[in-house]
Amino acid sequence: MITVPVFVGLDYHASVIQVCVMAADGRQLGNRAWPDDAAEVDRYVRQFGPTIRAAIEACTGAAHLADELATHFGWDIRQAHPGFVARMRAHPDKTDWADARVLADLTRVGYLPVVWLAPEPIRELRRVTRYRQQLVDQRRATKLRVRAVLRECRVKLRATGWTKAWLAELAQATLPDEARWVVAQHLAELQHLAGRIATAEQRIAKLVAGDPVVAKLLSQVGVGLVTAAVMRAEIGSFERFHTGKQLSRYCGLTPRNASSGQRQADAGLVKAGNVHLRSVVIEAAHRLGRFDKRWRQLRDDLRAKGKCGSVVAAALANRWVRGLVHQMTGPTSTSEVESGAN
């Protein structure tokens, strides 16, 4: 017996979910708002048919809802790229009713711009690695505030910044009383942040213990625990990328073409991409240039051509990531460890 599916578009908000149900011939069977409750949404949609194909725009909370509908209620649901969906909308108006209808219609005709739905263990690892990055950003900002106080007081230290010698010189520097107090507060905050970062890294180490994908990443030159964990969390499955260029573009490492007519030019790196992932991959590229002979030679060749350091690092990262796809999709398949990052 062949069951004709119904096509569902979900426009998710923290309090309500706009649910549009569409038949295979394009007729709208229902379009209304429901509370943020997966069971209630499933009960409403089931009255139109037992086979459900659905879409929800990727946003905060959408992955959790999609995972719940797929795991507990058997939905065939995909996440959609919100930027591409907005470009495909045929009218300038934006309402929840219309957004849900567009998602349902794109699912029906097979034009939905799909975003990978990461499994829960990957989402949990991603949450911890991003929290660590937030702490690192706070540490960087605090160090900049200390330097700002020194500049305001026209204090110049001879030692290299943030070494033991620099801190010792800072302790002996002549500062106004209130400036000294502010610097002391910042230094205390830095010590506190160092402990929190160390705790986060210990938790990351427990999360990725026994993960063969992380172990394979750690075997790469210049890749440490944090880099491997971030790549595992943000990339997830390497097998979802068919070419190295796809992965490089996902990391935001490919040059953006800005050619027109007879003018051929690049416009720097693509603006899209995961900023957190791009930063750790470029940091790994810097280490490649120091520790690996082949990459060091490429680095030196690019520098000899007059390329600046940031361009050289991005070029190394781009080429390294392109080759990484083939290494990571070898004997150790990432698909067999989707539940392994626990």
Residues 232-270: tens digit of each pLDDT: 999 999 999 989 999 998 998 887 776 667 666 666 777
- Each residue of 64-92: pLDDT tens digit? 999 999 999 999 999 999 988 988 877 77
In a domain, 141, yes or no: yes
Q: Same structural domain for residues 165 and 89?
A: no
**CB within 8 A of 140, min separation 6: which ones?**
none
Domain that holds residue 236: 212-337
The number of helices, as runs of H, and strands, as runs of E, in the chain is 13, 8
In a domain, 71, yes or no: yes
Q: What average pLDDT score do residues 32-55 get?
A: 95
Angle (CA) 268-271-276 rounded to 5° is 110
Residue where the block lists tokens 């999360």:
207
Report d(CA 233, CA 245) in Å as an integer: 19
Question: Global pTM?
Answer: 0.85
- Domain boundary pick from 208, 234, 251: 208
Supply 332's token pair.
Answer: 């150790």
pLDDT over threshold 80, residue 295: yes
Residue where the block lists tokens 């005709």:
109
pLDDT over threshold 70, residue 227: yes
What's the pLDDT score for residue 185? Answer: 98
Q: Same structural domain for residues 21 and 110?
A: yes
In a domain, 125, yes or no: yes
Report d(CA 304, CA 88) in Å as an integer: 45
In a domain, 10, yes or no: yes
Overall number of domains in the chain: 3
- DSSP string of 3-65, one letter each residue: PPPEEEEEEE-SSEEEEEEE-TTS-EEEEEEEES-HHHHHHHHHTT-S-EEEEEE--TTHHHH
Residue where the block lists tokens 């990443």:
217
What's the pLDDT score for residue 258? Answer: 66
Q: What average pLDDT score do residues 46-51 get?
A: 93
In a domain, 38, yes or no: yes
Strand runs labelled E in the chain: 6-12, 16-22, 28-35, 52-57, 76-80, 114-115, 255-257, 266-269
- Domain boundary pick from 208, 224, 240: 208
CATH number for position 29: 3.30.420.40
φ and ψ at 52, to 5 degrees?
Answer: -120, 130
Identity of the residue numbered 21: V
Q: Same structural domain for residues 85 and 154?
A: no
pLDDT over threshold 70, residue 154: yes
Supply 97's token pair.
Answer: 């009713």
Quick one: pLDDT band at residue 339, thresholds 50, 70, 90? very low
